[in-house]
Amino acid sequence: MVNFRSRFKVIITVTALWLAFLSLIIPIEVRAAETDYRIEAKLIDEKKLIKGRERIEFTNPLDRPVSEVVFTLEGNLYREPNPYISKVNLDSSYPAGFDPGWTEVSDITGPDGEELNYTMESLPPFAQTYSLKDTLVRVELPEKLEPGEKTRVSLEFSTKFPRKKVGDEEFFQGVYTWRFGWYPTLAPAEWWTSYDREVYSRIKLPSANYEVRMDVPEDFEVAGVTSEKTQEEGDSKRKILELVLDEARSFPLAASAKYKTRREEFREFTIEVFHFPGYQEEARVLASYANEILKFYSARFGSYKRKKLTFTQNPVSGYFGMAADGLISLGNSFFEEKDLALSTITNRLAEYIVAHEIAHQWFGIGVGTNLNSQNWISEAFAEYLALQYFHNKYPEYEPNLFRFERDGLIRNAIESQLGYVNLREHTFELPYILSFHNGFDEAIIKPLEEVDYANQYQTRVYKKGYMVLRTLRGIIGREKMEEFVRAVYEKYKTDIVDVETLASEARKLGEGEIPDDFFQEWLFTSDHLDYGIEDLSTEKLKSGSYSSEVTVTKSGSLNAPVKLRATLTSGKEVEKTVFIDSDRQTVSWKTNYKVKKVTIDPESLVMDTNRLNNHFPRKVEISLGENKLPLDAYFILVGPGTISGRTPNKYAWSVGPGSAQGRVNLNRNLSLSGGVSLEGNSLSELNFSGWVESRFDFWSNPETGSSSQYWSQNRSLTLRLNRITRSKDRTYNLAEIGASLSQSVTDNWSLGFNSSLNLEGDARLSFSARETERLLPNIYLNFSSNLGFGLGDLPPLMKFKLTELKSFGEWRTGSTGNMGWKSYSYPGNYKLYTKASLDFPISKDEKLFIGNLALITRVNQSLFISGGSTWNTLKDISFNNFKFEGGGELSVNGKTLGGLLPFDLAVGYAYHGQDTGRPYFNFSLGF
């Protein structure tokens, strides 16, 4: 699954760390097509419930008799709320408050209808650490099942769909979506003998055959139907649907009365799209993408084993996708947001994500694996196929993600800021480089319980995983890599494989080119590799030719053959492949012309943690107004009156008229910054100001309900020296200390402290606090306060001001003749301010389009009361002159530019009882 998608961001991030695995907890490992499911089920819409009876025929694949079998009940993973996440955060997943999901079983019988005994058990906490009770049922067989023998177990079940908005295993906005395990599922044969935590923690989805007879309301559309008939039931009409799916790793369910169907018949494939009313054109474009991608994959990597592929519109917003057998659920942004304002801006992004999800029909859904520790086989191979398709259609080494197909002024403005993005460089390599730089890198292959940095799961498994495959392609070549991928798919497309199996298949084609320890070191360790060029020396020989020596450096214990490219003064390029087995190595070259520059890994095939040292001389890229972010060059942007520069992961600086500033990010814990400014009309009147700052960030590991370790940046310390010149007669030299402490995962509060001291002995201390309390789902009480103390009579710059009050001020005519609001500042040596607000949604899931320009996603109302005052001395402190105000605010959240550009609009009215009050307006937008 790929996902391109404040308070809500925290819970979405935490939830995504484990939800992808919960949706795959159907760990079966039996031979392909030796398990047959026959399910008869009825969807009871008013109760969000499926009731049914299931018959499972299976074979004992073990070499010993068994007397018990085990079934998983995935629905019970949603019976209890996550006790570690705050209720405020949980509201983003459960808009109406927590609503449980569950699966119950009864009437378990054997092949002759005899009643079987059973006991309830719990899954181990390998993915989540709560709501594990009754997630397994162990069933006693009527007699021992010998190796190779087949038997049958039947049972009745009920599955309740939770009302939530994560995208899967849920009912949301009229749509039922559950890809894996809405029915009891047979567990691995090795589970049948006895409980083993390590064995129970393997997530495997082997193939089985499914026949499903589904009874649904007449107006419902269900993905994957092969036939249907209508029947009467009381005053309502229902229909019976027949659905058949062979050699499938699950039977996915997507159903809704809102769905309309578009069916496109192509020469080789049939594409069905289940979409909401009004999105016929988006469905047509999607079908076109899908057909093109299926044809490409089938030609390069082996034929798709089905003739039909179905897509469903997921009501949850976001550019994301989720794959199952023959079915792909796409986030609502593909349909609702893709054409906002600029109709082609996200076309390629959408096409890439569709390509990734279709690739799972080859790997993950096709070739299976242990999705707990070796999900790399599913996700990295899906990424590899998707980028092969993308690079075959669009330029690989140029800006290629956000491009426009129609000219115009808006196009030029947007492309100047976003047009530089390259899919591989900026969404694969850059996240990995940043993860490594910040100390969040770890081995790709490891169980969830051993993962140290859950925040970086997608970067580690998807992005870094893809780059390992790209490195392998660099070793054996593009053609052999395609042959390898095709061979694995065609040989194992219904099986479960591991890294050792893939390594064996790769070496058959690599013919000794692949280092013996390649897979072990690149996948099972946290080692890294950084190739660089330290020096180039060239000598002209008597013969007239040139002898050059290139000093190549290598940091990290990983290794791979790498290409070295030399550019001659004639313009010709010469290359050689080298293997660097030491920290520093000299490579010699004899050429007819002088070597003027050398590049290592010019095609960016090797997974490298730093590409800035890949050129000698170092590469500097200068742009006149067009934004860029090269990974292998020092970038300089020349704009109107300003020159700025940056590197991908560490440095940023800018110089403008009378000012300069810069920033260095040393690691995840420490950054340094500073700046200077000059003001004045002549050299003798220049006023100099400047500042230097160091910021220390500290991290904690809150319990999130995931078995992996999550990192939250919740403390900071800032040290700052500040020189401020207000005039030639008044200069402030300040030393400042700031600190913050917050909790945004398990709770919702923050504390802040700031102190300032000047060289003349003046000092001030301030304290701030914020907290959010949940009254009801999506209804919150917010509290904030600020307290300030001055030591002595503070100079004007250091005095506290009461600018938080919105209604205390006056309308004034400015120098341009325009009216503007001027707030009273009420400077003082002591300060107290507090505010309480009641926030509640007017609209949180209903969406409103502003033509084709923007989409309103949420409207919130806030009622507030606040008050504060400042005083010059302790004796003055009194509540007699305390200033109070109250009011209301309407806030609107929305998106534009294909959903890439969010905006916030706030319109409010504040009143303090002594005049007519003051309306106010705020607008902000940004990427």
pLDDT score recorded for residue 548? 96
pLDDT above 70 covers a percentage of the chain that reads: 94
The DSSP bridge pattern shows strands 712-727 and 175-178 to be unpaired
Interval 72-109: pLDDT, tens: 999 999 999 999 999 999 999 999 999 999 999 999 99
Q: List all residues 6 or more positions away from 875 whose beta carbon is below 8 Å from its beta carbon.
A: none
Check residue 33 and give its pLDDT: 42
- Please tell me the distance from the alpha carbon of residue 1 to that of residue 16, in angstroms, as a whole number: 10
User: Would you say how long the chain is, in residues?
Assistant: 927
Domains 26-255 and 530-606 share a fold: yes
Of residues 473, 482, 461, 494, the one with CA closest to residue 379:
461
Any long-range contacts for 380-383 (C-beta under 8 Å, 24+ apart)?
380/444, 380/461, 380/462, 380/465, 380/466, 380/468, 380/469, 381/469, 381/485, 382/356, 382/357, 383/356, 383/359, 383/428, 383/462, 383/463, 383/465, 383/466, 383/469
- Report pLDDT for 568: 97
Report whether 12 contacts 117 (CB < 8 A). no
Residue 29 or 866, more confident: 866
DSSP secondary structure, 857-875, as one string: EEEEEEEEEEEEEEESSGG
Average of per-residue pLDDT across 611-629: 94
Q: What are 782's two structure tokens?
A: 């917010």
What is the distance between the alpha carbons of residues 407 and 845, in angstroms, rounded to a whole number? 35
pLDDT of the residue at 284: 97
Residue-wise pLDDT for 843-862, tens only, equals 877 788 998 889 999 999 99
Is 462 in a helix, a strand, or coil?
helix
> What is the C-alpha separation between 307 and 304, in angstroms, rounded?
7
Domain range annotation of the chain: 26-255, 530-606, 656-759, 775-927
- Look up residue 254 and give its amino acid: A
When comparing pLDDT for 534 and 728, which is higher?
Answer: 534
pLDDT at 626 > cutoff 90: no
Q: Which CATH number fits domain 26-255: 2.160.10.10, 2.60.40.1730, 3.30.200.20, 3.30.479.30?
A: 2.60.40.1730
Res 23 pLDDT > 50: no
Q: What is the pLDDT of residue 555?
A: 97
Pick 578 or 341 by higher pLDDT: 578
Question: Residues 245, 250, 253, CA angle at the centre, nearest 5°?
Answer: 80
Please give the Cα distance from 880 to 159 (Å, whole number): 62
Strand-pair partners of 576: 564
- Range in 165-169, 232-236, 455-459 the model is least confident about: 232-236
pLDDT of 697 strictly over 50? yes
Is 463:432 a contact under the CB 8 Å cutoff?
yes
pLDDT given for residue 407 in this prediction: 64
pLDDT of amino acid 195 = 78
Q: Name the band, by pLDDT with cuts 50, 70 and 90, for residue 237.
A: confident
Among 3.40.50.300, 2.60.40.3230, 2.30.30.90, 3.30.420.40, name the CATH number for the domain at 530-606. Answer: 2.60.40.3230
Largest Cα span, the chain: 104
- In the DSSP assignment, the letter for residue 319 is E
pLDDT at 42 exceeding the cut of 50: yes
User: Mean pLDDT throughout 618-629?
Assistant: 93
Q: For the segment 397-410, what is each residue's pLDDT rounded down to a tens digit?
A: 999 998 876 665 56
What is the gyration radius of the CA atoms in the chain, in angstroms?
32
Mean local confidence (pLDDT), 346-353: 95
Residues 560-585 pLDDT 10s: 999 999 999 999 999 999 999 999 99
Determine the Cα–Cα distance for residues 162 and 293; give it in Å rounded to an integer: 34
Q: How much is the pLDDT for 631?
A: 97
Confidence of residue 5 (pLDDT cuts 50, 70, 90): very low
Q: Does residue 902 contact residue 6 with C-beta atoms inside 8 Å?
A: no
Q: Which of 89-93, 416-420, 473-477, 904-908 has the lowest mean pLDDT?
A: 416-420
Confidence of residue 683 (pLDDT cuts 50, 70, 90): low
Helix (H, G, I), strand (E, B) or coil at 291: helix
Q: Measured between alpha carbons, how far is 717 from 533 in angstroms, rounded to an integer?
A: 38
Cα 16 to its chain centre, rounded Å, is 8
Q: What is the 3-state secondary structure (H, E, C) of 101-166?
A: CEEEEEEEECCCCCECCEEEECCCCCCECCCCCCCEEEEEEEEEECCCCEEEEEEEEEEECCECCC
610: how many CB neighbours lie within 10 A of its CB?
21
Per-residue pLDDT at 409 = 58
What per-residue confidence (pLDDT) applies to 1? 53
Give the pLDDT of residue 31. Answer: 37
What pLDDT, on the 0 to 100 scale, is given for residue 408?
58
Confidence grade of residue 814 (pLDDT, cut at 50, 70, 90): confident
pLDDT at res. 406 = 64
User: What pLDDT is stored for residue 701 in this prediction?
Assistant: 96
15 has a pLDDT exceeding 70: no
Structural element, H or E, at residue 433: helix 430-437
Q: Tell me the pLDDT of the chain averaged across its residues.
A: 91
Q: How confident is the model at residue 651 (pLDDT cuts 50, 70, 90)?
A: very high
Q: How many CB atoms lie within 10 A of CB 185?
A: 25
The structure's pTM equals 0.93
